[in-house]
Amino acid sequence: ATTLRAAADAIGKDIGVAVDVNKLQNNAQYRNTIATEFNSLTAENAMKWDATEPQDGNYTFSQADTLVNFAEDNGQSVHGHTFVWHAQTPSWVQGLNATAMRTAMVDHINTVANRYEGRVDSWDVVNEVVSDNNGAMRDSFWLRTMGEGFITTAFQTARAADPNADLYINDYSIEGDNAKSDTIYRIAQGLKSQNILDGVGFQSHLILGQVPSTMEANLQRFVDLGLKVRITELDIRLNTPADANELAQQAEDYRRVTEICAELADCSGITVWGLRDNDSWVPGTFPGTGAALLFFEDYAKKPAYTAVLNALGGG
Ligand code: G3I
């Protein structure tokens, strides 16, 4: 296999990419590369609440539809992102009382999940519900208004809305064994025992040379609960500009993460969080860092691309 897509297909894994729908519509080389190299798509922004329901009951699906139609035309699966998050959620939701917020959540999940039933294969039902502080729950308007039960409500609603979709809980900095991943583990155990959770998404926004040494064992403990695992937002940032040594180390890091997923039967796949280095959210959020993805700005393949291809069994 000479593409990521062909190599991943051959071993039954998803190799996904976060897609900017505006570029998909306006940039032919972006479009062609996405179609050729990936068998799974995630909307980088187009399925979030602020994009799909900016006002109460006023749903706007044009960008999300464009992505799902593209995936269908190209035989790609879709991993949906995301129903319930503390960010990119309109202020009209954030100000509701508990009863009204629950109603809004249920309506939102039902409407979006029903629209894409049978076309979106899996969903990040809740995103980033654990804080970075000793594994405490994140202090969000969801938690403050509805209490911890907001998570169960979201999963129960999603399960009923699309019983065939795989439902994931998704977070960052849970790749290794740590206080935050311990909390995700406890939440996952509870949801799994109610049969409303199918998998855990490990975002994997990593830093050069810092793939956690406990990553494989940590993913395994979730698999041992009967869950799938998935690398949902992979990028590996470094201090820019990158030199050859850094690009080689980055390739090594990408290889390691890909091997971990390839060797775990219950790892459904890997999604990289953007196509080219210049498509990434990283430089805007962490100035002076970047070069985090698999393709250079001119679509040339980086050493990390070859490492992922090889780790998927291609080359
Ligand atoms: O939609 C407006 C547009 O109208 C305006 O012209 C433009 C000007 O800056 O901004 C546009 O919104 C931006 C949006 O991306 C779409 O491009 C927002 O300002 C910007 O904040 C937003 O950033 C996204 C970020 O989530 C928001 O939290 C990134 O693209 C996206 O990569 C990032 O993705 C998150 C995952 O969803 C969850 N995990 C972490 C990951 C990285 O932060």
Q: Which atom of ligand 1 is nearest to the CA of 281?
A: 32
Where does ligand 1 bind, in terms of residues with CB under 6 Å? Answer: 44-45, 87-88, 127, 203, 233, 281
> In 3D, which of 200, 203, 196 has the Cα closest to residue 161?
196
Number of domains composing the chain: 1
CATH number at residue 72: 3.20.20.80
Give the closest residue (by CA) to ligand 1 atom 32.
281
Nearest CA to ligand 1 atom 21: 88
**Best mutation site among 45, 277, 285 for ligand 1 pocket (most ligand atoms within 8 Å of CB):** 45
Backbone angles phi, psi at 182, to 5 degrees: -65, -40
Q: What was the pLDDT predicted at 9?
A: 98
Stretches in the chain below the pLDDT threshold 70: none
Give the range of the structural domain holding residue 116, as residue numbers without chain letter.
4-311
What is the predicted pLDDT for the residue at 214? 98
Q: What is the pLDDT of residue 203?
A: 99
* pLDDT score recorded for residue 155: 99
ipTM over the 0.85 cut-off: yes
- Ligand 1, atom 15, lies closest to the CA of 45
**Residue of 233, 246, 259, 263 marked catalytic:** 233
Q: What pLDDT sits at residue 224?
A: 98
Strands (E) in 29-187, as ranges, are 40-43, 77-84, 122-127, 166-171
Which residue has a Cα nearest atom 9 of ligand 1?
A: 284
- 134 C-alpha to center of ligand 1: Å? 27
If you measure from the C-alpha of residue 86 to the centroid of ligand 1, how many angstroms do you get, rounded to a whole number?
A: 13
Task: Give the model's pLDDT for residue 83.
Answer: 99
Catalytic residue list contains 233: yes
Four-CA torsion 238, 242, 246, 252, nearest 10 degrees: 70
Distance between terminal CA atoms of the chain? 6
pLDDT at 300: 98
